[in-house]
Amino acid sequence: MTWQLLLGYLPTNSERRITTLERKRKEYLDGVRQAFERSNAAISGNPSASATGRGRGLDEAIWHQISIDVPRTSPHIQLYSYEATQRSLERILYLWAIRHPASGYVQGINDLVTPFWQVFLGVYVTDLNVEEGMDPGQLPRSVLDAVEADSFWCLTKLLDGIQDNYIYAQPGIHRQVRALRDLTMRIDSTLAKHLEKEGVEFMQFSFRWMNCLLMREMSVQNTIRMWDTYMAEEQGFSRFHLYVCAAFLVKWSDQLVKMDFQEVMMFLQALPTRDWTEKDIELLLSEAFIWQSLFQDSRAHLRPAGDRSPENGLQ
């Protein structure tokens, strides 16, 4: 419930929460039914029925990319190998994409839905580790519908705040990458100059950090811990995330300054975070808070030369 409140999905007035949940869950299921009933999938009036067939009513390009990406989502976690999980993610992503034609589906959004799905599933599966537990398909249909609907609406709330990361040409990500480069120069000029000397472009390694919010570098459990803080912060998924990325990069400074281009790229593409615990995440977040406190009020100094308009500052 905490995430749902912080994202504005649930009202702060507790008396309105039950009716809001009922209405939003029904709205989602109606949306799924409408999206898929035009296809050849056998929905039969049940929005939870199989929607994997690529019927004539589906947007083929969007559906094709989603159907490729979903099986690749968190492949090391058993939860995401179950058919019930994959069909649920497909419906969430497809409905979001067709409702947001300015961006449509973009690779990386499939990662962003998993923390919501996992946290909301955990409300109903409390006696097992949800990553390794039972097949969600064994749960009552009403439970899966609730998890799916809540995940859709919370994903929508998150993406509303970083929409320009996913529209054509992804200008939000390009702006964030430039800001990260400038911030790194001020935090650790030795590292920034070394990367420049070796010909390492920030876009080459940090595009993914912005596009997937570091989810490819962290476990889902550690991501969930990070998102606790992101949701409590103003512009947590945009502005504060930038400082987290800066702290994350600078953490490896001692190793990186000793590497050439190829070594840097190989290292940054396979960072040694597999064994990170919640304490590692909390330390990273603490360092990010320090950088934010030092530089947040000096945003004009972090913009590239010739790029001084307010809308191009740190987001």
Closest CA to 165 of 109, 218, 220, 127: 109
Predicted local distance difference test score (pLDDT) of residue 1: 81
* Residue % of the chain over a pLDDT of 90: 75
Mean predicted confidence (pLDDT) in 139-157: 96
Phi-psi region of 219 (alpha: psi -120 to 50; beta: other; left: phi over 0): beta
pLDDT band at 38 (very low <50, low <70, confident <90, very high): low
Asked if pLDDT for residue 85 goes beyond 80, the answer is yes
Hey, which CATH number is domain 171-297, 3.40.50.300, 2.60.120.200, 1.10.472.80, 1.10.10.10?
A: 1.10.472.80
Average pLDDT score, the chain: 88
Lowest mean pLDDT among 131-135, 155-159, 285-289: 131-135
> Which residues of the chain are in CATH 1.10.472.80 domains?
171-297
pLDDT band at 41 (very low <50, low <70, confident <90, very high): very low
For residue range 110-147, what is the model confidence (pLDDT) as tens digits?
999 999 999 999 988 865 566 667 799 999 999 999 99
Mean predicted confidence (pLDDT) in 215-220: 93
Lowest mean pLDDT among 100-104, 105-109, 125-129: 125-129
- What's the whole-model pTM score? 0.86
Asked if pLDDT for residue 162 goes beyond 60, the answer is yes
pLDDT band at 39 (very low <50, low <70, confident <90, very high): low
Q: Residue with structure tokens 């190989």?
A: 266
Predicted local distance difference test score (pLDDT) of residue 300: 45
Mean predicted confidence (pLDDT) in 196-214: 97
